[in-house]
Structure 1
Amino acid sequence: MDDYKVEAFDLYDRIYLENLQDRNIILNEEIDSGLYEKVVMQIKRFNKEDEGQEISDRTPIKIFINSYGGIVYDGFAAVNAIVASKTPIYTYCDGYAMSMGLAIFAAGHKRYAYPFSNFMYHEISGMAIGKTTEVEHQQTENKRLQAMYDSLLLEKTNIPKAKLTRVKKNKLDWFFDSKEALEMGLIHQIIS
C-alpha cells in the first residue's frame, strides 16, 4: 500500500473513532457483514455503558446513514440492535437511505433527514440457482424476509400497505424525498 492510501485509510479510521466518542456511528457503505462490528457491536457497547441509568438520562446514539443498501440478513442484525436498544437511537439520513439502508433508518427511535435527502424502497432481491425445489425454497425465504421488511416499515410509519404492494407488483424502485417521508411518518423532522 502506498503512503497516500495509508494516509487516507488512517484519516477514515480517525474520523470514525472520533465520532464514536460522541456516540455518532457512520454508516456510509454497502451493508454487509462488516456492519456488525461498525454498528451492532457499538450499539451493544453503548447500552452496556448505560446500564443502571434511567432511559431519559442516557445520551442518545446517532447513526448517520448514507447507504444504497446491501445484504438483508446483515441489515436485520442492525435493525435488531436498534429496536432492542434501551438507549435511544436517532437515525439521520444525510444523502440517501435506500433498500436495506431504508430499513435500518426506519428502525430508529427518532428519525431525521435534510431537505435534499432521498429514500428508496423496493422488493428485496435474491438469486436462486439449482434444482426446482432449491429455487422454490429460496423463493419462500425471500417472501419471509420481504414480510419482515414490510412489517417494519408499516409499524414505524404510516405508509399505506397498498403502496408497498403496488411498488412490488409493478417491479419498481420507489424513490421519494424528505417532504414525502415526513408526510408518511418515516421521518420525525426535516433538519434545515
Structure 2
Amino acid sequence: MFKIEFTLNEIIESIKPTGLPDIVYYQYYKQLMNRKIVINEAISDSIIESAVIPLIDMDNDGTGKPIEIYLATVGGDIYSGFNLVDVIKKIKTPVTIHIMSIAASMGLLIAMSGHKNPNVKTVCHPFSVGLLHSGSQYMEGTAHAVKDTFDFSQHYEDKIKEYILSHSNIDEYLYEKIERKEYWMDADEMKKLGIVDEII
C-alpha cells in the first residue's frame, strides 16, 4: 500500500510555468501559500474545495495570521455560496475580503458575510461594482415537485432577505423598492450601504 502526500510547495513546483502556463492554477496555489484565497469565477459546488476548506484550515491552524479573500465573481449557486458565508460569519482569524472588480448576486452576499464579525473587514476599489437581485431558478418535474421546489424557494428567499437586512445598512423600505430589480451599485454606494468598510 502506498501513501501519497504532497506539500503545497511540491504542488507549486509541479505546476510552475515551463511553456504556456496555466497561470490561473499557478496563481491560485501560489496565493494559498500566502494565506490568500482567490475566488475569480462563477460560484459553484467547487467552492467547497477552492475556498471553504482552505479557509477552515487556515482559521484552525493555530497561527492566527491574517487571511485575505480576493473576490471577483458574477455570482452563481446560492447553496454553495452560503456555505462560505457561514464559515466567514464565524471565523476567528482576521480576514479581509477584497472586492476586486465585481461582486454580483451571490458574490455580493459573500461580500456582506463579515458585517457582524469584528474579525472581518471588506474593502473594494474605486471602480468596483456590486449587483443585488433576486436571482433565477429553473424548475422541472411533476406538478407536485415543481410546487414543492417553488415553496422552498420562497422560504429560502425570505431567509436571504433576513440575511441582507441584518448584514448591511439596507432597510426594509429600500429592500422592498429594489427586490425585483437589477440593483447595481458603485463603490460609494456599497460603502454607504455598509457592504464594504473601506474604499482603497
TM-score bracket for the superposition, by shorter chain length: 0.7 to 0.9
- Give 1:99's aligned amino acid: S
Q: CA deviation at 1:157?
A: 1.2
Q: CA deviation at 1:156?
A: 1.7
Q: Does 1:140 align with 2:146?
A: no
User: Quick one: which of 28, 31, 45 aligns to 1:19?
Assistant: 31
Unaligned runs of 5+ in 1: none
The structure whose residues are more often helix, as a share, is 1
- Give 2:20's aligned amino acid: E
Q: CA deviation at 1:8?
A: 3.3
The 10-residue stretch of structure 1 (113-122 or 143-152) with the greater mean CA deviation from structure 2: 143-152
Structure 2 length-normalised TM: 0.83
SS of equivalent to 1:127: coil
In the TM superposition, 1:8-157 aligns within 5 A as 8-9=21-22, 11-50=23-62, 58-108=64-114, 109-157=120-168
Cα distance in 2 for partners of 1:91, 1:71 equals 19
Q: CA deviation at 1:69?
A: 0.4
Structure 1 length-normalised TM: 0.86
- Give 1:185's aligned amino acid: G
SS of equivalent to 1:8: coil
Q: Which protein is bigger by CA-based radius of gyration? A: 2
Q: CA deviation at 1:68?
A: 0.3
Percent sequence identity is 25
Matched pairs, number: 178
Cα distance in 1 for partners of 2:113, 2:174 equals 19
The 10-residue stretch of structure 1 (87-96 or 63-72) with the greater mean CA deviation from structure 2: 87-96
Cα distance in 2 for partners of 1:64, 1:151 equals 25
Cα distance in 2 for partners of 1:60, 1:141 equals 38
Cα distance in 2 for partners of 1:92, 1:79 equals 15
SS of equivalent to 1:119: strand
SS of equivalent to 1:162: helix
